[in-house]
Structure 1
Amino acid sequence: MHKSVTAAVAATVIAAGLFTAAPASALPASTKVVGGERAPATSSVVQLEASGGDIPAGYVSTCTGEQITASWVLTARHCIDGIGAMNVYHSNSTVNRGTPVAVNRVTAAPAGDIALVHLRTAYALSSYTPLDLTATAKSSGTGTIQGYGLRADAVQSDGLYQATVSLTGASTDAFRGRAQHVTGVTGASNHGDSGGPLIVNGKVVGVCSTGDSADPGANTRAGSNYALLAQASSWIRSTAGV
C-alpha cells in the first residue's frame, strides 16, 4: 500500500549493524562495505538519505538502494519506516553526491524487509539494476554485495564499494521474511549498506537487511542476511512495472 513519505510509520525497525543515524553536520554520511573494492562508476546503486518523522531533529539516516526504473528505487523496508522525507543521490561518490532527487512515495512489500521508493521527478539511467525474482536461498556458491556503508572500524569512505561473499544457507530478515545468509570472502556489510544488493549471476536476488553482529569492525568474514526478492515478486512487478 502506498503511503505519503511525510506520514510516520507506527513501528521503526533498525536492523542490527546495518542502519545508522548520523548528525547532519557529518554529511556526506554514507560509507561502505568492510574490505572489498570500489564498485564500477556506472552502477545504478544509489544513496538514500532520510530525515524527519521518528528520526531525531538534526539527524539523517542513510541507506543504499537500487534504481530499477526511471521512477522506482528498490531498498529495505526498515530504511523507510518512521521517516519524514527522503532524497536519492545518483553519484557513486559520497564526497560529491550531486543534486538530490526527492522521494514522494514509499511503499513496503507485503512480506520481507523489502520496499520501493518513488522519485518525484523521473531520473533516466542508461541501464537499470537487473532483478532475479525467483531465486531461493543457496548453501553454496558466491555472490557480490554493494553498498554505501561504513568501511572497516567504522571509517567513513568516499564511494560505492563491493565485495565477494559466500552463500551460506537460508535465514530470516528483519521482518521475519525469507533471506539469504552470506559470509564475507573479500568483505562484509556494515552500517549504511541496508537495502544494498546481493548480486548472483549478474542479477540482484536480495537486499541487505541485518547483520550477524551489530559491529563487524574490520572482520571481512562477517555474516549478514539479505531479504530475498522472490517472496515479494508479484508485488515488485505490479508496483514498479518491471
Structure 2
Amino acid sequence: MRSLIRLALATAATAALAGAGTASASATTVTGDAVSPHIIGGTSGSSPYIVQLVFGQSGGTYGCTGEAISSQWILTAQHCIDGTQWMDVYFSNSVTSPGTPVAADQVAGSSHGDVALVHLSSTKSLSGYAPLASSYTPAGGTGVIWGYGLTAGGAQPTHLNKATVNIVGSSTDAYGGNAIHVKGSDGASNHGDSGGPLFVGGKVVGVCSTGDVADPGSDIHAGSNYANLTASRSWIKSVTGV
C-alpha cells in the first residue's frame, strides 16, 4: 500500500469532519478512481490547476478538490488529509476520464484552521498555478467557487464546475480557524467540493471547509464556510516558497 509522510510541521486535527451542519465539508465517497463531481447549479468550467484528489481514509476511498500552487504543491482542506493513508492527484477536469494521476508523498496541515498542503512525488508543470491572496477580510460582494462536489440531488456530472457566491461575512471552519461565510448566488458547494477554492478579485482567499446544513439537496443558495487563508499565508510560503 502507498503511504504518505506527514511533515513534522503538520498539526494533528481533532475536529469533527461531518455531521449535521457540516456535511458539505466531508469528502465524497469514490467508486473506483472516479471522483464524484460538481457544485450544485453553477456552470461547467476549465482550469489547468484545479485538481481532483482521490485518497484512502477510514477504510474507504474518498474525493476532494485541490489547487496546484506550484509544480510540486497542492493546496486543499486539512480534513482531506487527516488520517489519509494514500492520495492520488488528477489534473484532468474530466471526472469520467481523469487521466493518469500523480501520487502524493507528503502532507502537512496548518495550525490555523482547515488548510493543508499536499506534496507531489513528481513535479507537474502547468501553464499556470492558482494565485493566492496575501490576506483577505470579508467585506461583502461576490466570489467564485470551483469544485468536483456532488450536484443537485446527489447526481454526478462529468466535469469541473464553478458558481458565483455572495460573501456574507466571517465564520469558523471545521478546525476552529477563521472562515469566510458565503451563500450561493447561481450555485453552492456540496460533498466533494472540500478544499476547493474561493476566488475574490481573481485570487484564492479560502478553501471549502463546511456547509451550513448536512444536505443542501438542490438549493443553489445554500451557505458554506471557506477557511480563510490569511492566518496560514506565511506558513504556506514557508513550506512551499509560494
Residue in structure 2 matched with residue 14 of structure 1 by the alignment: 17
Unmatched 5+ stretches in structure 1: none
Displacement of 1:19:
1.7
Name the SS of the counterpart of 1:234 in structure 2: helix
Alignment of 1:19-30 (within 5 A): 19-22=26-29, 24-25=31-32, 27-30=33-36
Residue in structure 2 matched with residue 97 of structure 1 by the alignment: 98
State the identity as a percent.
48
Matched, 1:131 2:132: yes
Moved over 3 A (4+): 9-13
Contact 2:164 2:187 survives alignment (8 Å): yes
TM-score, normalisation: structure 1: 0.91
2:41 to 5, 17, 35: 35
CA–CA distance in structure 1, aligned partners of residues 169 and 112 of structure 2: 19
Number of equivalenced pairs: 232
TM-score, normalisation: structure 2: 0.91
Matched, 1:78 2:79: yes
Q: For residues 67-101 of structure 1, what are the alpha-carbon distances to aligned partners after superposition, in whole Å with 9 as ceiling and x for unaligned?
A: 00000000000000011000100000000001010
CA–CA distance in structure 1, aligned partners of residues 53 and 239 of structure 2: 19
CA–CA distance in structure 2, aligned partners of residues 156 and 132 of structure 1: 31
Residue in structure 2 matched with residue 161 of structure 1 by the alignment: 161
Contact 2:28 2:62 survives alignment (8 Å): yes
Contact 1:11 1:82 survives alignment (8 Å): no
Residue in structure 1 matched with residue 58 of structure 2 by the alignment: 55
Q: How large is the RMSD of aligned CA atoms in angstroms?
A: 1.8
Displacement of 1:110:
1.5
Name the SS of the counterpart of 2:84 in structure 1: coil
Cα distance 1:37–1:178, how it changes in 2: closer, same or farther (>3 A)? same
Residue in structure 2 matched with residue 201 of structure 1 by the alignment: 201
Contact 1:5 1:83 survives alignment (8 Å): no
Name the SS of the counterpart of 1:169 in structure 2: strand
Displacement of 1:155:
0.6
Q: For 2:17, give the aligned amino acid.
A: I
Unmatched 5+ stretches in structure 2: none
Cα distance 1:233–1:20, how it changes in 2: closer, same or farther (>3 A)? closer
CA–CA distance in structure 2, aligned partners of residues 105 and 123 of structure 1: 15
